[in-house]
Amino acid sequence: MTTLLELQGLNAWYGESHILHGVDMRVGEGETITILGRNGVGKTTTLRTITGIVRARKGKLIFAGEDMMQVPLHKTARRGIGFVPEERGIFSTLTVSENLLLPPIVASGGLTVDQIYELFPNLYERRNSAGTKLSGGEQQMLAIARILRTGVRMLLLDEPTEGLAPVIVQRIGEVLKQLKERGMTILLVEQNFRFASRIADRFYLMDHGQMVSEFPVGELPQRMDTLHKVLGV
Ligand SMILES: Nc1ncnc2c1ncn2[C@@H]1O[C@H](COP(=O)(O)OP(=O)(O)OP(=O)(O)O)[C@@H](O)[C@H]1O
State the complex-level ipTM: 0.94
* Domain region containing 59: 3-231
CATH number at residue 152: 3.40.50.300
Pocket test for ligand 1, best of 16, 20, 35, 39 (most atoms within 8 A of CB): 39
pLDDT in tens, the chain (233 residues): 899 999 999 999 999 999 999 999 999 999 999 999 999 999 999 999 999 999 889 999 999 999 999 888 888 888 899 999 888 888 888 999 999 988 888 888 889 999 999 999 999 999 999 988 899 999 999 999 999 999 999 999 999 999 898 989 999 999 999 999 989 999 999 988 888 999 999 999 999 999 999 999 999 999 988 888 888 76
As for how many domains the chain has, the answer is 1
Range list of H helices, 41-120: 43-51, 73-76, 96-101, 113-119
Using alpha carbons, select from 45, 47, 57, 4 the residue that is nearest to residue 26: 4
Q: Which atom of ligand 1 has the smallest separation from the CA of 46?
A: 18
Pocket test for ligand 1, best of 17, 86, 157 (most atoms within 8 A of CB): 17
Which residues are near ligand 1 (CB < 6 Å)? Answer: 14, 17, 19, 37, 39-45
